[in-house]
Chain A
Amino acid sequence: MLKITDLHAYYGPIEALKGINVHVEAGKITCLIGSNGAGKTTLLNAISGTIKRTGSIIVEGKGEIIDKHSRFIARRGIIHVPEGRHIFPGLTVRENLETGTVNWHGFFGRQPYDKELKEVYKLFPRLEERKNQLGWSLSGGEQQMLAIGRAMMARPAVLMLDEPSMGLAPLVVQELFEKIVEINKQQGIPILLVEQNARLALEISHYAYIIDGGSVKLEGSSSELKNDPRVIEAYLGKFAKKN
């Protein structure tokens, strides 16, 4: 669905990504694991076109996007849910969801989006309960649901989630990850997941990439990597096998 080849990205003179090859398969959850500063978020920003990058990013059936502006990338259905949620604080929940439709709707568009809205409310009933509340007044978990819901309004071809578990209580994380699996299973939307909680990420994903120092160190199916001694040592901790 998304084929990334030899991707380089820069922050000024510093090379943050040193030739990354990642393949997001259609209908699968692919996850990126790595420590702080490994380049996971940079990779997502490079795909969505918010930082300078070179290399090749090919969207299946839609062509090369490496030279495109973030606006056009969003229009091709590559939807990035950023780290820290970034919902619009002064808009209501419903208005926040509405903004998600702009990529297929156009700036002045007036097509109905009731179908999308209904599906998001079905996925996250909590959002419907709070549809007239302002974005900033939601709890962290609700904000994350809203950020994902807003991305679902955009009719995503690929969904990129950056640290959805950040700062959330374990029970909320559990619920959220069930929803992510549901989105992938029921609608077949491929997901590129960046996650610090390596165990959880390997649990729900099909394929995983371990990123360190701006390049891919290891890749393989998630079930394999879960039992790889190097991964256990570095990211899961030595008691991981007992689970």
Chain B
Amino acid sequence: MNINTIVSLSVNGIAMGMIYALMAMGLILLIRAIGVMNFAQGDLLMFGAFVTCALTVDLKLPLWIMIPLALISFAVIGVIFMFTVYWPLKDATYPTATVISTMGAAMALKEIATLIWGSLPRSMPPLMKNPKTGKAAVLNLFGIKLQWQFVLTIIVGAVLIWLVFVLFEKLYAGRMMQAAAQDKYAAELLGIPTILTTAATYIIVVIMVSTGGYMIAPIFMVSNTLGSLQLRAFAGVVIGGLGNIKGAIIGSLIIGLVESFSTIQFSQYKDAVVFIVLIAMLLVRPQGLFGEKVADKA
């Protein structure tokens, strides 16, 4: 194994890890805000890939119109998702009801995508093309060849994650959202509009996840099986420690790298390798790499 392979496998791994990290971060934001594990996360990613594919391939929109249009539709999907999947069940006496409802939403999204765009996988052109050949552009870094799509995925993922961190940690509105997530009753008493903070959380999560779908669409084919990628995000969340965003991001990157490097030896078994790492982690350190930020006080 030479340095070329190591670097290109790392870049591929980190790029995939970024996609998992976007999903994992969204999972934790939702767990914090409404206390529910979202099993439709992968299918939201799939849906985002289809939407952007339709905008780019079917409508042939240029990038500068496509991006704002895509963001608006992601936000609308987020709000619809909230008011159909979560809102009717928010006062349910049986808390698992909402979790089941997200599983139903996953199936519904898959079927809607099939109804609109058919069941055949569609191909999506890469963001940067080689002007001569029309194929995916390659970045030549000191003789190491890297696909631009992977490099861009890393950049877009990192920027999105950074933006969400800034929103939650630095902005007044972000702290109100954190407060509402931590104690809805107290937030209501202070006058924090909790319906707005919940909707904002859904919009942010769907934008993150769907943008992930947009970035990997050229790498995979766009098909309704993309949703299965969410298992990697779950693994990332568990490795990082449930409830810790930084941990989930690092866990997801680890999953991406493990997956990428396992293709050298056993490319067919890369899924198995990922979950062996997960099981090993659960055996050795069940609380994850990073524990909970807020401990229960006795």
Contact = CB atoms under 8 A, between A and B. Distances in A.
B185 A50 contact: yes
A108 interface: yes
Interface string B171-182: 011011011001
A87 B293 CA distance: 16
Given A88-B182, A99-B176, A74 B294 contact: no
Contacts of B185: 50, 82, 86
A90 B293 CA distance: 7
Nearest to A75: B191
Contact of B176 (A74, A75, A90, A102): A102
Interface in B41-76: none
Q: Which of B176, B293, B295 has the most CB of A within 10 A?
A: B176
8 contacts: A50-B185, A50-B189, A88-B183, A90-B178, A95-B179, A98-B175, A102-B192, A134-B294
A203 B189 CA distance: 28
B188 A50 contact: yes
Contacts of A82: 185-186, 189
Nearest to A50: B188
B190 to A, nearest CB: 6
B188 A88 contact: no
B190 A102 contact: yes
Interface string A82-120: 100011111100011011101101011110000000000
Contacts of B176: 99, 102, 107
The 7 closest A-B pairs by CB, nearest first: A74-B191, A103-B191, A86-B186, A99-B179, A88-B182, A90-B294, A70-B188
A88 B179 contact: yes
Q: Which of B186, B187, B294 has the most CB of A within 10 A?
A: B186
Contacts of A73: 191
Interface residues of B, number: 23
B294 A154 contact: no
Given A88-B182, A90-B182, A91-B182, A103 B297 contact: no
A161 B172 CA distance: 26
A108 B185 CA distance: 20
Contacts of B293: 90, 134
Interface in B277-298: 293-297
Interface of B is mostly: helix
A148 B183 CA distance: 16
* Interface size range of chain A in the complex: 20 to 34
B193 interface: yes
A136 B182 CA distance: 11
B166 to A, nearest CB: 15
A91 B186 contact: no
Interface of B: 172-173, 175-176, 178-179, 182-183, 185-193, 196, 293-297
Nearest to B177: A107
A100 B189 contact: no
A107 B193 contact: yes
B178 A91 contact: yes
A79 interface: yes
A95 B187 CA distance: 13
Given A70-B189, A82-B189, A88-B186, 17 more contacts: A50-B185, A70-B191, A71-B188, A71-B192, A71-B193, A73-B191, A88-B178, A90-B178, A91-B179, A98-B172, A102-B190, A102-B192, A103-B191, A107-B196, A108-B172, A136-B294, A154-B191
A137 interface: yes
A40 interface: no
